[in-house]
Amino acid sequence: MTSLILRTRALNASRQARCFSTTRRQYAAEVKQLGVIGAGQMGLGIALVAAQRANVPVKLIDASDKALSKGLAFADKLLAKDVAKERITQDQATEIRSRLTGSTKVEDLSSVDFVIEAVPEIPQLKFDIFANLAKVCPSHAILATNTSSISITKIAAATTTDPTDTSASSRVVSTHFMNPVPIQKGVEIISGLQTSKETLDTAVEFCKKMGKITSVSADTPGFLANRILMPYINEAVICLETNVGDRDSIDAIMKNGTNVPMGPLQLADFIGLDTCLSIMKVLYNETGDSKYRPSVLLRKMVDAGWLGKKSGKGFYDY
């Protein structure tokens, strides 16, 4: 009898999961053309993966011609690498590359169904971009941000001067991709207070079409990934500054004791210590919880310009 009950529960759970999946697909809108703002490492990675795996044409936008050229050249390099490793053929690489076009004009996003902003974590910059996207993009287009820490509700609010008008703000969502985008499978989908169900479902389904594994998070400081990751890194820095252990011991015990590919201090270097500090400040200021107080040593290293791999010096020398 117990076995029968368990099988019945498992069958019901399976049916509910299929029903939920079907409902989500019903609400999700089709994405035929994507726009990406920002031709840096994150933006280019998102654009390339969408062109390669979701098979959609992508308009890559950047205010700088130089950054745009550099980004597209990097796309060529990545595709050539895939051809050399026989992951794709040259014909496939050519076809993927043909789906990528660059522009310095935001107005060229007037025909997209979905746009993803991937510019630096500067709140006012993002607010200005979304205010403009609400005017430029079609009335059905999903307006997504790749922010790792800024409130989605605040970004959505920037799309209108009338809080009762949710025609644009309901289409704002976060698709927080992990870096490097072509390799990392995870992506966080975060809804703001104004985000509609259709917007959320469309974002989830499109990211799955890009070959990503999605996690849905509430719009809270740090969301899921950084709410867990950054205090872990910050605590490792505190262990170093209070002489609980030296650099190599801290990284070695986490690598060899928890089977992570990289220790927390080395990971902080790769992320950028200024980025780590910025996110810890957001967590601390937004929650008021002392457990998120940034390490004194982390602040000092950023003040010294020791930002990690990108500056040539952090916890390690590069």
pLDDT in tens, 155-170: 999 999 999 999 999 9
**Cβ neighbours of 291 (radius 10 Å):** 10
Q: Has 176 been annotated as catalytic?
A: yes
Catalytic residue among 146, 170, 191, 226: 226
Catalytic residue among 146, 176, 191, 278: 176
Same domain, residue pair 65 and 211: yes
14-19 long-range Cβ contacts below 8 angstroms, 24+ apart? none
CA distance 252 to 267: 12
CA distance 142 to 124: 20
**Confidence tier at 20 by pLDDT (50, 70, 90):** very low
138 falls within a domain: yes
Phi, psi of 218, deg, nearest 5: -75, 160
Q: Has 148 been annotated as catalytic?
A: yes
Structure tokens at 84: 């050399």
Strand order in the sheet with 186-191: 100-103, 58-61, 34-37, 114-117, 142-145, 172-177, 186-191, 213-217
Same domain, residue pair 259 and 229: yes
Structure tokens at 264: 């927390």
Same domain, residue pair 179 and 295: no
Q: Which residues are annotated as a binding site for NAD(+)?
A: 38-43, 62, 121, 126, 148, 179, 310
23 falls within a domain: no
pLDDT per residue as tens digits for the range 22-48: 454 556 679 999 999 999 999 999 999
Over residues 258-286, the mean pLDDT reads 94
Q: Has 188 been annotated as catalytic?
A: yes
The pLDDT, as a whole number, for residue 29 is 77
Q: Which domain CATH number covers 230?
A: 1.10.1040.10
The pLDDT, as a whole number, for residue 12 is 52
CA distance 143 to 137: 9
Range of the domain at 127: 34-218
pLDDT per residue as tens digits for the range 200-216: 999 999 999 999 999 99
